[in-house]
Amino acid sequence: MKSFTRRSEGNGTCIVSMTNANFVHLHVHSNFSFKDATPHPQDLIKAAAYYEMPAVALTDHSTLAGAIRFYRAAQGSGVRPIIGTEIELASGHHLTLLAENLAGYSNLCRLLSAIRLAQPGVTRPVTSWETLAPLAENLICLSGCAHSRLSQDLIQRRQEAARTFLQQLASVFPNSCYVELENPLLPYTPTLLAALTSLAQELKLPLVATNNVHYLRRRDHPVRDLLVCMGANISLRQPHPYRHANDQRYFKSSRAMSQLFAAYPQAIANTLAIAERCQLELPVGEYRFPDFALPAGQTATSYLRQLCQQALEKRYGTNCPEAQQRLEHELGIIKDLGFCEYFLVVWDIVNFARQEGIRCTGRGSAAGSLVAYLLGITAVDPLEYDLLFERFLNPERKGMPDIDLDFDSSRRDEVLAYVYSKYPPAHVAMVGTVNTISARSALREVAKAMDIDKNEVDRLARFLPRLAADRIEKAIATLPELEGQFPQGEPWDSLLRFCQAINDFPRHLSVHLGGVVIGRHPLTDLVPLEWSAKGVVITQYNKDDIEYLGLVKMDLLGLRILSAIDETVRRLEQDDIHVDLEALPFDDPAVYKLLRSTKTVGLFQLESPGMRELLGKLQPTNFSDIVANISLMRPGPMQANMVSPFIRRRHGLEPVSYAHPCLEPILASTYGVIIYQEQVLQVAHALAGFTLGQADLLRRYMTHDRSPEEMAGLEAEFVAGASNRGVEVDIAKQVFKQLAAFASYGFNKAHAATFGLIGYYTAYLKAHYPAYYLTALLNHQPMGFYPPRVLLHEARLWGIPIYPLDINASQPEFTLENGGIRVGLRALQGLTEEHIATICAVRKERPFSSLADFRWRVHLPRKVMRNLVRIGAFAAFGTVPDLLQQLTIYEQPKSRLPQGQCLLPLPPEAHAPASSPAPDLKRAISTELELTGLYITGHPLSLFRSLLTSYEAIDSRRLRTCADGQKVRVAGIIVSRQMPPTRSKQRIIFLTIEDEYGLIDVTVLPQEQKKYAQVALGCALLLVEGTVRKTGPESISVTAARLFDLRRLA
Amino acid sequence: MSKRYQEPIELKLSGNRKPEAFVWRGRNYKIKDVIRHWTVNGDWWQKESRRLHAIVTAKRWSEYGQYEIVYEAKRRQWYLYRVYD
């Protein structure tokens, strides 16, 4: 039996004494050696524990990306984690480096950062002695695996080269250099081992045995082999230097390793000696806030107070005791938790944005903080909307505050540039995130490596919904649209098995959406950095790792809707219409009329099919209704049956009652239904006397899986508190049950209010200035629920004329023109920014007068030119067929011309447009969809209308007049497909289709999916036969009985 | 120089599971030592067998020779693979 004791030296060193241990794996790869190894880092700890090894190292290729989760998995496991890496020198030598302590770990971070930052985009970067030597202290170096240059030199009898290398290594790592012996049982191994030991003896260097682990079990070798082929983009039939000839590089037991190195017992013993030296303890549990430059004579606490007090008096006046009391309460907690500096850092960033006129808003539970509101971080008054500070910062639970900031997407880079300029560059980086292998990509890549037909796999992958790679098999077995589609037998069975095996494997690092880490000290003291594919410096650690190390991460997100709002307001300003959104009252009748009509395409958070249906049922009349709408439109409330009672009570169809009078002020606004997490806190506080902090802990407890015993304990505590306040036990139990049922599904009201505010702004702008707003929306795609073609059609339905792309009139972006929307040049696929800039610059001199004039003055690639003609950009100069004919003539090579005739470039007056028939509508719509993704001239359904009439299909206008239960046929082009979780756990497909007059929502129930799922999920144009379902004054959908591919019927 | 074979043999193991002798064409070859051994996996995707190779010094009557024997995991069978001159 092993035993050990552990004590911290307080300087990043932790001493663990070991007894009865035999061997430690010191050269080990996890799947963070991307596509080169299979074990998850935490599984290595489990393997070491299983084999009773006291420690295990992680040495991925030039990265520490898996190191923190490896380290965390080791805590409490009895296995000590040794953090290291395998690097490669430019000479081809591999080195295994292990951190002895915190100083060594910091050197690893700095070394890897230096290596990666010098070689962006290189999967296996190399380094030099010059980079390595200064950072060698407190690192133990193993001379490298059998793949390295050292081994090759010895196998090929280049003794002198091998000797020189080892001598240099020993000088860089004095007393910390070991000659690494690896025995993968290959033909050359005995020769190599003999040569290495001989050289080590000559140079008096100690030996160490490793197994260069790449997988846990021998049988995992094929998966690893496959991953290598995927990474190298080759098939299994092709050789590659990274592929192993056998399956010996697995996590062998101590016994197996001892047998393997029976002739070199010291090499085995030295693994323990090295592990004994490696005693790293990471400095976790303390926050490292960045240094904030304070005004002279101020502390962080006093400065924060000053800013808040000034803002409070400005917003609430000097006589508002409620606000003052709340402020004191919050500042007290913030100070006690040590977060004053954090708030100042966030305030500074927001302050910069506001000064530069960059729209920004804080989201999430931070909106519950008066301090955040006063600092301008959030925009919703927490006092007015009854938002709770303890839901954001809980004094009972020490945790980093998390304030996410949304900025105008088009100007977020300015904010980032400010952060980088404000703090030393070495102290700032974007946070990395790990992209993992998904079902679709797994299927395709594994199939490619296995040489399976690409077309067949593509066809299948198209049907796969977004799911994890290990759910493919279940999806194939259960989804009706995949029934009979997936072939049986080999190689398909192996394909699925491999997909399952690589589920959730890390694929590569990329930039987290908005995470920025700012350190008090250079980040590379604790975190290795590298370049992302987008050319941004990122941490090799993800946000969880960053938080674990106590570093401050901020989410500085770009929100395109803020860009659209900003553009709308600016365009209005240009036309002398002044709109101050921050000063808007929340009682504009036009806004609520729009929301109740459910014509909310383009509105932030209020446009999805489910949201439109809910708006139609709920019929909002005030801002609280918007907040409730956003909170209810989620799987949780629907599954917990919160929505129906809320709506029925709101419309007086069901009585509202409260278990206890003290609940009425808390639940009156939501008709007795618990919707918000804040309400759970308030109920626990009011009824059972919990502090708000304790109440939030209770809420959190309830949202995680608890055993019946644990829940019984919570209930007892709750009931006892309520009894102390004179509440009857039965009532207390009833309320506790209600809380327990809804706690998991409650939404953060502060978050909903923040989003509701933006939603309100967008509703206001659309209601009053639809042309401006929809133009701006089109200019900031992609965003929102619907594609641009739906937005453009929405504009048409609002009576806004749509002007097609025109070579003289179109700007790069969508613009307003004569009360309508002019399609911008950017809408045309293949037209680059360079082309657009040229067109705009040239026509500034004078507008284009003909196709020939354009060709004379602007030179574009042939295909782009043809597309411009086809889309009708030159419609002022002729019809598309005529112009294409002209173009064909221009494109003729000179050799085909009669002698003496020169065609290119032509004088502008050379060709006059010939007269031709009116443009073909079908061709126009088809071309527009092909080249822009929009329908400009008309809607595709108009081409089918006469056919649809013969099928007695009605349009979306008539659908609104139908009665509940009426049988109908409708048709449309697919706009969206959703399959959200449902109360019954069965899959329901929600479709939205669009015809010339609007959107139609269609529901396909499980029974109909058996026959029609393929049509529902695979076809673009649908004819639906079904029954009308009316669930509210403006809430109408069709429950499908049959679905048809409209193109097949035509 | 060597000569290639692919003939099944019977391998005998000692009490501590070390190779002791093999029988080839009815004749017994006593193994003196294992010079070296290695494993290869072959084309696992073609269901090729994993193979363990060993070069042994073995004696028949009074003559010593070097022999390469191979174990095919799929067939669970030992073979004489090569005889070295």
pLDDT, tens digit (0-9, with 9 covering 90-100), for A567-577: 999 999 999 99
Position A641 confidence tier, pLDDT thresholds 50, 70, 90? confident
Amino acid, single-letter form, for residue A250: Y
For residue A185, the chain B residue with the least C-alpha distance is: B38
- Residue A388 CA to residue A677 CA, distance in Å, equals 10
Average pLDDT of the segment spanning A811-833 = 96
- Residue A24 CA to residue A39 CA, distance in Å, equals 17
List the single residue in B38, B43, B44 with the smallest CB-CB distance to A185.
B38
- Residue A558 CA to residue A566 CA, distance in Å, equals 13
pLDDT at A912 over 60: no
Position A700 confidence tier, pLDDT thresholds 50, 70, 90? confident
More confident residue, A21 or A657: A657
Residues of B in contact with A489 (CB under 8 A): none
Residues of B in contact with A185 (CB under 8 A): 37-39
Average pLDDT of the segment spanning A442-464 = 84
- Residue A97 CA to residue A177 CA, distance in Å, equals 10
Å between A186 CA and nearest CA of chain B: 5
Tokens 């050990």, residue located: A4
Digit-coded pLDDT (tens) for A104-137? 999 999 999 999 999 998 988 999 999 999 999 9
Average pLDDT of the segment spanning A849-859 = 93
pLDDT score of A230: 94
Check if B39 contacts A (Cβ < 8 Å): yes
More confident residue, A1004 or A887: A1004
Residues of B in contact with A245 (CB under 8 A): 40-41
Average pLDDT of chain A to the nearest whole number: 90
pLDDT score of A808: 97
pLDDT score of A693: 85
Dmax (CA) of chain A: 109
Radius of gyration of chain B (CA): 13
- Residue B7 CA to residue B25 CA, distance in Å, equals 9
The DSSP call for residue A235 is -
Check A185 against B50: CB less than 8 A apart.
Answer: no
Q: Among candidates A1039, A977, A66, A960, which has minimal Cα distance to A504?
A: A66
- Work out how many CB contacts closer than 8 A connect A with B: 34
Digit-coded pLDDT (tens) for A771-802? 999 999 999 999 999 999 999 999 999 999 99
Q: Return the number of other C-beta atoms located less than 10 Å from residue A1037's C-beta.
A: 23
pLDDT score of A825: 97
Residues of A in contact with B41 (CB under 8 A): 221, 244-247
More confident residue, B8 or A892: B8
Q: Among candidates A437, A474, A444, which has minimal Cα distance to A458?
A: A444
pLDDT score of A246: 93
pLDDT at A18 over 50: no
Q: What pTM, to 2 d.p., does this model score? A: 0.85
For residue B45, the chain A residue with the least C-alpha distance is: A236
Digit-coded pLDDT (tens) for A206-223? 999 999 999 999 999 999
Q: Which residues make beta-bridge pairs with A17? A: A5
- Residue A448 CA to residue A498 CA, distance in Å, equals 12
Check if B2 contacts A (Cβ < 8 Å): no
**Residue A913 C-beta-side C-alpha neighbours within 13 Å:** 18
Residues of B in contact with A187 (CB under 8 A): 36, 38, 53
- Residue A855 CA to residue A849 CA, distance in Å, equals 11
**Residue A102 C-beta-side C-alpha neighbours within 13 Å:** 15
pLDDT score of A913: 42
Check if B50 contacts A (Cβ < 8 Å): yes
Average pLDDT of the segment spanning A428-436 = 96
Q: Which residues make beta-bridge pairs with A170? A: none
Check if B44 contacts A (Cβ < 8 Å): yes
Amino acid, single-letter form, for residue A970: V
Check B43 against A236: CB less than 8 A apart.
Answer: yes
Question: CA separation (Å) from A8 to A16, A480, A547, A713?
Answer: 9, 59, 22, 36
- Residue A372 CA to residue A361 CA, distance in Å, equals 10
Q: Are A101 and A280 in contact (CB under 8 A)?
A: yes
Check A246 against B50: CB less than 8 A apart.
Answer: yes
Position A919 confidence tier, pLDDT thresholds 50, 70, 90? low
Check A186 against B50: CB less than 8 A apart.
Answer: no
Tokens 């260097």, residue located: A205
Q: Which residues make beta-bridge pairs with A360? A: A407
Q: Are A105 and A64 in contact (CB under 8 A)?
A: no
> Which of A183, A186, A497 is the mutation pick for testing B, counting most B CBs within 10 A?
A186
Residue A649: partners with Cβ closer than 8 Å, 6 or more residues away: A655, A656, A671, A672, A673
* DSSP symbols for B34-74: EEEEEEE---GGGTPPPEEEEEEEEEETTEEEEEEEEEETT
Residues of A in contact with B40 (CB under 8 A): 186, 245-246
Vertex B7 angle, CA B5 and B12, to 5°: 120
- Residue A36 CA to residue A144 CA, distance in Å, equals 17
Tokens 């729209």, residue located: A359
Check A225 against B50: CB less than 8 A apart.
Answer: no
Check if B40 contacts A (Cβ < 8 Å): yes
Question: CA separation (Å) from A998 to A357, A601, A763, A992?
Answer: 37, 10, 18, 10
Position A922 confidence tier, pLDDT thresholds 50, 70, 90? confident
Amino acid, single-letter form, for residue A124: R
pLDDT at A915 over 50: no
Tokens 């500085």, residue located: A556
Q: Kindly tell me the burial class for residue A850, based on how many C-beta atoms sit within 10 Å of its own C-beta (0-12, 13-18, 19 or more).
A: buried
List the single residue in A190, A237, A246 with the smallest CB-CB distance to B41.
A246
Check B41 against A450: CB less than 8 A apart.
Answer: no
Q: Among candidates A761, A415, A411, which has minimal Cα distance to A568?
A: A761
Q: Give pairs for A733-740: CB < 8 Å, separation 24+.
A: A734/A659, A735/A659, A735/A660, A735/A663, A735/A683, A735/A687, A738/A659, A738/A674, A739/A674, A739/A680, A739/A683, A739/A684, A739/A702, A740/A702, A740/A711, A740/A715
User: What sign does the CA torsion over A638, A639, A645, A646 have?
Assistant: negative
Residues of B in contact with A450 (CB under 8 A): 45
> Which of B16, B33, B35, B41 is the mutation pick for testing A, counting most A CBs within 10 A?
B41
Digit-coded pLDDT (tens) for B15-67? 888 899 999 999 999 999 999 899 998 888 888 889 999 999 999 888 899 99
Check A248 against B40: CB less than 8 A apart.
Answer: no
DSSP H stretches of helix in A655-707: 664-667, 677-688, 692-703
Position A442 confidence tier, pLDDT thresholds 50, 70, 90? confident
Give residue A584's Cα distance to chain centre.
Answer: 33
Pick from A261-270, A331-340, A637-646, A960-969: least confident: A637-646
Check A189 against B36: CB less than 8 A apart.
Answer: yes
pLDDT score of A287: 86
- Residue A350 CA to residue A556 CA, distance in Å, equals 10
Torsion angle, CA of A610/A616/A617/A619, rounded to 10 degrees? 130
Quick check: helix, strand or coil at residue A828? coil
What's the N-to-C CA distance of chain A in angstroms? 78
pLDDT at A471 over 90: no
Residues of B in contact with A225 (CB under 8 A): 44
Average pLDDT of the segment spanning A504-524 = 93
Check if B38 contacts A (Cβ < 8 Å): yes
Check A222 against B44: CB less than 8 A apart.
Answer: yes
pLDDT at A376 over 60: yes
List the single residue in B37, B44, B45 with the smallest CB-CB distance to A185.
B37
Q: Are A192 and A154 in contact (CB under 8 A)?
A: yes
Check A189 against B38: CB less than 8 A apart.
Answer: yes
**Residue A176 C-beta-side C-alpha neighbours within 13 Å:** 21
Q: Are B72 and B51 in contact (CB under 8 A)?
A: yes
Check A189 against B53: CB less than 8 A apart.
Answer: no
List the single residue in B40, B41, B45 with the smallest CB-CB distance to A450.
B45
Quick check: helix, strand or coil at residue A82? strand
Q: Kindly tell me the burial class for residue A183, based on how many C-beta atoms sit within 10 Å of its own C-beta (0-12, 13-18, 19 or more).
A: buried
pLDDT at A894 over 60: no
Q: What are phi and psi of A600, to 5 degrees?
A: -105, 20
Give residue A30's Cα distance to chain centre.
Answer: 24
Give residue A793's Cα distance to chain centre.
Answer: 29
pLDDT score of A907: 37
Digit-coded pLDDT (tens) for A726-776? 999 999 999 998 888 777 778 889 999 999 999 999 999 999 999 999 999
pLDDT score of A463: 66
pLDDT at A5 over 60: no
